[in-house]
Amino acid sequence: MKNNPITYVFCSFKIVYKKIINYLNTTSLEKFIVKISFFFLLIFPLSGCIVFKTVNYEITITNDIKGSAFVTIEDICSDAANEEELENDKDIVFNYAAKSNDFVKDLESEGKKIISRNLFVKDGKLNATVSYQFDDITEAESIQYDDPYYFITLSPEDSIISTNGEVFEYDEYKRIIWDKSMKKLQFKIFSEETSQPNIKSLAPYYKK
């Protein structure tokens, strides 16, 4: 997940929500998270970077390429080097992503219609969920549909924790494939080890 979609990943100055799974079309999973995800690749020069431990996708297909997604991001943190960067990251998570209409509009421009979004603390970790609908999964998440299969392509370094699809590993990429008969596509990806000393949990700053 070092190339961040969905990383979101979130770094500071200008918010660039890239299609996270280009990551799905090409390689990086963080693009996917950020892109494929609840949060998005946020880029801000001169600021810290938002990191998280895992991202889980549960995608429901209703009509070949149309459907909905429920995304869970676990243990959201910041690797900010100073207070200014930390404040920037907090603003991105607690204001832009969790509350702003800009976030909704940004995802709509990517083909995602937000149904709900939520931040919560569990076991001392800040987590997030977002659900949205899409009319074309190939645009919304960069998951490809080639009848009779759905598939997503990741970089060799991306760590797949779980999936109900079949994983194929090659020298240049990894690929998860689902048969068309499957209407629920699930995969969970490891993004970043958040227990490192330079990474700070955002859970203590969360206010309902």
Tell me the pLDDT tens digit for each residue of 46-76: 345 899 999 999 999 999 999 999 999 999 9
For 17, 151, 154, 159, 164, the CA distances from 167, given in Å and listed in that order, are 27, 10, 10, 11, 9
Q: According to the model, what pLDDT value does residue 44 have? A: 34
Sequence-separated (6 or more) residues with CB below 8 Å from residue 54: 73, 74, 75, 161, 188, 189, 190, 191
Residue 79 has pLDDT above 90, yes or no: yes
pTM of the model: 0.80
| Residue-level length of the chain | 208
Q: For 86, list phi and psi in degrees, rounded to 5.
A: -65, -45
What mean pLDDT do residues 18-24 have?
Answer: 33
Handedness of CA 20, 21, 24, 25 (dihedral sign): negative
- From first CA to last CA, the distance across the chain in angstroms is 30
pLDDT digits (tens, 9 = 90+) for 119-168: 999 999 999 999 999 999 987 777 999 999 999 999 999 999 999 999 99
Residue pair 175/163 in contact by the 8 Å Cβ criterion? no
Q: According to the model, what pLDDT value does residue 48 have? A: 56
